[in-house]
Structure 1
Amino acid sequence: MGDGDRVRAWRPSVAGVVEVLHAEWRDHAYPAHTHGTWTLLLVDDGLIAYDLDRHAHAAVPLSGVTLLPPHVAHDGRPTSSRGFRKRVVYLEADVLDESLVGAAVDAPLILDDALRRASSRLDRALTLGDDPAAETHLALVVDRLAWHLTGRPDVTTMQAPAAVARRARELLDGDPATILGIAAVAQTLGVSTAHLVRSFTSSYGIPPHRYLLGRRLDLARRRLLAGEAPVDVAAATGFHDQSHLTRHFKHLLAVTPGQYRGAAPRNGIKNVQDALVRAR
């Protein structure tokens, strides 16, 4: 790589996402090639000129997203000496119907600020390793992409949002530790994940993955105050491991699970308050 070039890539553990790539290239031009995935491209700086299926296009900075379909040849090159900086999320070929490839070839640039914000949130969740958030944002992004590529169809026949939200909350409250994810809840309710996310958020002011996280943290707090070890609490309340519990616990309460457990009252409630103040 040349001076100033930077590349970071990884494979997340989120169904539907194959790879994430962050790249900053000053003078690199890549040759024509294909992917077996949908390529969701966000340009943060510079301008990328490219040919897609032998037609000239440009991926513009800070304006919408570019979506390149699977198995269609494309290349890429900077248009100035300052190069470009981009973020790319490669999506499994089956997250969008194969019939939408033609629409993506015809119009790969989608000028939709809401879609760009949702795609940025997806990229951030994948960067942070926040799988539940990434699952939620992926559903919204894919749904919005399909809406554009299918000509913005009317969706008034979907199940009533309030009823979907209420039934989802009942499921999340019923057994938060063993819920496999928001997509699993949506499947149980017979709706799309995107419809569930929108319905729940509009009804309760919080997306369902955050609501589920809150219920799990409630369970964790009760178990910690009962004297259970953080490693056991993490396993029993739906977190991947102790570090996953700790990250979210500190974000909520500014203390680790171990510190919170040590704040349990032994000589009165004042000990809890004092211990939490010292832990901060």
Structure 2
Amino acid sequence: MVDQPELRAWHPPLVGIEEVFHARITDHVYPMHTHETWTLLIVDDGMVRYNLGRHEHGALDQIVTLLPPHVPHNGRSVTPGGFQKRVMYLDSTQLGDDLIGLAVDCPVLQDPLLRQRIHQLHVALERRGDELEVESRLALMSERLRDHLRQRVQDRSAVREPGIAHRLRELLDAKFVEGISLQQASAALHVHPAHLVRVFSREFGMGVHQYVTSRRVDLARKLLLSGMSPRQVAVAAGFYDQSHFHRHFKRVLGTSPGRYAGSAPAVQGAAHLL
């Protein structure tokens, strides 16, 4: 029997962080999926193996993992007891899309001070009453992340022009809730549907339908944490019905929409800025 992950997820009342997600994962294997936000991950116990940008990487204790938006990745435990992780999903006010290319090749950051700042921010986010502390910690952390990425600029070649796969992704991003057929995309881009499927899969490491589903699940997470009911979210995020929504949400996250929505912790107390 597959174990249900232990998790807490919530949307903090703070510009810059879309979602906070704490979980212990044992048996669940994350399929290829994407986010429209930056995924900032620290592992407190165990080890994670994942693919990003057609390369395999590992995440373990004492290092920081930064996964850029729109780039497919998966994840699985490589330790018998699973892994425990804390994740923040950062929006473009903290890290702009112009930094995505700099993060793809090397998502691992070995920086003890950065990891400590991330830990302190997670602790502060679970306490209510000192928003200035949280904002201060976020500012320090984001600044250090940007510094890491910009140090790589000199090692990068010129950014290449977006090809057919990137144009298709832009079209999917604009239509992922209402949906767009391959025939419609083919007509819009003047490219045969089969060729669209091939180039998209080769460029991003996942199928067109997988990408659209992952965007819908990503939206559903936000709507659930905002208080919308799973039934309403299924429609708002573009799923055919609630059963369709439940099946794909659980496949990606390993838990049901209802359990995810009810996982937000009760926040209390206040922390002191160190």
Structure 2 Cα separation of the partners of residues 57 and 3 of structure 1 = 25
Which amino acid letter does the alignment assign opposite residue 92 of structure 1?
D
Give the whole-Å Cα distance in 1 for the aligned partners of 2:54 and 2:12. 32
Give distance in 1, aligned partners of 2:137 and 2:74.
Answer: 28
Note if 1:105 corresponds to 2:104. Answer: yes
Which has the higher relative contact order, 1 or 2, with Cα contacts under 8 A spaced 6 or more apart? 2
Q: Does 1:22 align with 2:22?
A: yes
Change (3 A) 1:2 1:34: same
Residues 52, 247 of structure 1: alpha-carbon distance in 2 compared, 3 angstrom cutoff: closer
2: CA distance, partners of 1:2 / 1:46: 18
| Offset of residue 2 of structure 1 | 4.3
TM-score, normalisation: structure 1: 0.53
Q: 2-side partners of 1:114 and 1:80: how far apart?
A: 26
Identity of aligned residues (%): 47
Q: Point out the structure with max Rg over C-alpha.
A: 1
Cα offset, 1:3, TM superposition: 3.9
CA distance in 2, matches of 1:86, 1:136: 23
The residue aligned with 1:53 is 53
Instruction: Return the structure number with greater helix share.
Output: 1
* CA distance 1:247–1:24, change in 2 (3 Å): closer
Counterpart CA distance in 1 for 2:121 and 2:79 is: 29
Does 2:127 align with 1:119?
no
Gaps of 5+ in 2: 154-266
1:68 aligns with 2:67: yes
Residues 59-115 of structure 1 deviation map (CA, whole Å, 9 limit, x = unaligned): 111x12100011110000001221100000111133212221111111101000000
User: Any gaps of 5 or more consecutive residues in structure 1?
Assistant: 154-243, 253-280
- Quote the offset at 1:152 in angstroms: 7.9
- Please give the root-mean-square deviation of Cα atoms over the aligned residues, in Å: 2.4
Alpha-carbon distance between aligned partners in 1 of 2:32 and 2:8, rounded to the nearest angstrom: 21
Offset at 1:33? Answer: 0.5
Range with bigger deviation, 117-126 or 3-12: 3-12
Q: How does 1:1-280 map to 2 (within 5 A)?
A: 2-3=2-3, 5-61=5-61, 63-129=62-128, 130-151=130-151
Return the offset for 1:149. Answer: 0.5
Scaled by the length of structure 2, the TM-score of the pair is 0.54
Encode CA deviations 1:174-212: one digit per residue, 9 max, x unaligned.
xxxxxxxxxxxxxxxxxxxxxxxxxxxxxxxxxxxxxxx
Q: Which amino acid aligns with 1:6?
A: E
Q: Is the 8 A contact 2:39 2:69 kept in 1?
A: yes
CA contact (8 A) 1:70 1:93 kept: no
- Which amino acid is the alignment partner of residue 31 of structure 1? P
Amino acid at match of 1:87: R
Provide the secondary structure at the position in 1 that maps to 2:57.
Answer: strand
Contact 2:6 2:24 in 1 (8 A): yes
Per-residue CA deviations over 1:257-278 (Å, capped at 9, x if unaligned) read xxxxxxxxxxxxxxxxxxxxxx
Q: 1:36, 1:93 within 8 Å by CA — same for their partners in 2?
A: no
